[in-house]
Amino acid sequence: MNMKYKVTKVKPQGYCGGVLKAIQMAKECRKLHPNESITILGNLVHNNYVKEALTLYDLKTVEDPSKTRWELLDLVESGIVIFTAHGVNQSVKEKAIKKGLTIVDASCPFVLQTQKFVEQKLNAGYYVFYIGKKGHPEAEAIYSENDRVFLIEKIEDIPKNLKGNIFVTNQTTMSVIEIKDLFAKIKEIYPDASIYDEICNATRVRQEAILALKDQNVDTLIVVGDPSSNNTKKLCAMGVSAAIKNVYRIEDLQQLKPEMFQNARHIAITSGASTPTYLMEQVYEYLIHYPCPKEKIDLHKILDEKRQA
Ligand code: SF4
């Protein structure tokens, strides 16, 4: 065992409640409808391993990053359609019903809550400033619906000289740091704007746990997560904000290279809210047993040993 460096697992990390619920709903749907065609509209959660695991349940995913959910729906002919944890807008639901599809909605309750606030404010005549990421399905469900909604990715996107009430909210997986700056800038331009910070608790506590590493002499942070996962990207950004010298995002153990950690003194490891725990555990076990060959990391054995301990 190599004891040159210390390895700390950051807590909390891994699946959030919304991701767990979506995966359980999809599996349950197959159990209840063993012979139906079931299609997931976009990636159920942002992780390729999860997507592949779902094919074992004969759950098909239609995904094309250049297409909106509304456009993707053209690829679903019949049967059951599952809406992902990121939510969809009303026009997608209506289109699915018109096509005669049965809907299973796995949207996270926190995403639905933000959608509800936006709808209430639009009905009350407000303009909505939505801080989010263009093309992300959660943001798309809100900004593509109404021309009184403005997507804000950076300060330059804040509209000037609007007259009327303004409601400001955000995608649930944004950075707790970036959003403060954007809220402050909006308040400077529109002092009467109502602000609802909708970063979900799972995102917030995972990001704060990384920021707290600042005082723990961590020199290397490894974030296990999918390149398409916004919350994973933001965990990396928190590592940079916590002044950690080396920050790496890897999808799995295969992407971990010795040059990333060989000279480290203190490594922290975490994973995105849609990353299966076993992917993070494999990386952790490899780090503490390095330089054993990667093939020796037998996850099932590791988990069995832990259960018996
Ligand atoms: S990150 Fe937050 S909003 Fe997204 S699925 Fe998880 S709990 Fe829900």
CATH of the domain at 84: 3.40.50.11270
Does 67 fall in a domain?
A: yes
Do 294 and 233 share a structural domain?
yes
| Rounded to 5°, angle at Cα 223 from 220 and 229 | 150
**Are 230 and 136 in contact, with CB atoms under 8 Å apart?**
yes
Does 65 fall in a domain?
A: yes
Could you say which of 175, 199, 223 is where a domain stops?
A: 199
Pocket of ligand 1, beta carbon within 6 A: 16-19, 85, 108, 110-111, 172-173, 200, 202-203, 231, 273
Atom of ligand 1 nearest to the CA of 110: 3
Do 145 and 214 share a structural domain?
no
pTM of the model: 0.90
Atom of ligand 1 nearest to the CA of 85: 5
Does 208 fall in a domain?
A: yes
Look at residue 14 in the predicted model and tell me its pLDDT. 85
Do 208 and 152 share a structural domain?
no
Look at residue 146 in the predicted model and tell me its pLDDT. 83
**Are 212 and 205 in contact, with CB atoms under 8 Å apart?**
no
Does 1 fall in a domain?
A: no
Query: Ligand 1 centre and the CA of 85: distance in Å?
Result: 8
Q: Which residues form the domain of 288? A: 6-15+202-308
Nearest residue (CA) to ligand 1, atom 2: 200
Look at residue 296 in the predicted model and tell me its pLDDT. 75
Do 212 and 178 share a structural domain?
no
Could you say which of 107, 127, 156 is where a domain stops?
A: 107
Nearest residue (CA) to ligand 1, atom 8: 18
Does 257 fall in a domain?
A: yes
Residue 52: active-site member: no
Read off the CATH number of the domain in which 277 is found. 3.40.1010.20
Do 184 and 166 share a structural domain?
yes
26-54 pLDDT tens trace: 999 999 999 999 999 999 999 999 999 99
Do 286 and 236 share a structural domain?
yes
152-191 pLDDT tens trace: 999 999 999 999 999 999 999 999 999 999 999 999 999 9
Q: With a cut of 70, say whether residue 221 has pLDDT above it.
A: yes
Band of residue 287 on the pLDDT scale cut at 50, 70, 90? very high
Q: Go through 125-140 and write b for each residue having 16 or more CB atoms within 10 A of its CB, e for each that does not.
A: ebbbbbbbbeebbbbb
Q: With a cut of 50, say whether residue 309 has pLDDT above it.
A: no
User: Which whole number is the average pLDDT over 293-305?
Assistant: 67
Q: Which of 94, 138, 188, 208 is catalytic?
A: 138
Do 152 and 240 share a structural domain?
no
Do 191 and 114 share a structural domain?
yes
Residues of the chain above pLDDT 90, percent:
87
Query: Ligand 1 centre and the CA of 176: distance in Å?
Result: 14
Could you say which of 173, 199, 225 is where a domain stops?
A: 199
Look at residue 307 in the predicted model and tell me its pLDDT. 52
Query: Ligand 1 centre and the CA of 289: distance in Å?
Result: 33
Query: Ligand 1 centre and the CA of 17: distance in Å?
Result: 7
Best of 203, 232, 234 for a ligand 1 pocket test (most atoms within 8 Å of beta carbon): 203
User: Which whole number is the average pLDDT over 127-139?
Assistant: 95
Look at residue 199 in the predicted model and tell me its pLDDT. 97
| Rounded to 5°, angle at Cα 202 from 199 and 205 | 90
Query: Ligand 1 centre and the CA of 233: distance in Å?
Result: 14
Atom of ligand 1 nearest to the CA of 19: 5
If one counts the domains in the chain, the total is 3
User: Which whole number is the average pLDDT over 208-213?
Assistant: 97
241-285 pLDDT tens trace: 999 999 999 999 999 999 999 999 999 999 999 999 999 999 999
Does 135 fall in a domain?
A: yes
Q: With a cut of 50, say whether residue 64 has pLDDT above it.
A: yes
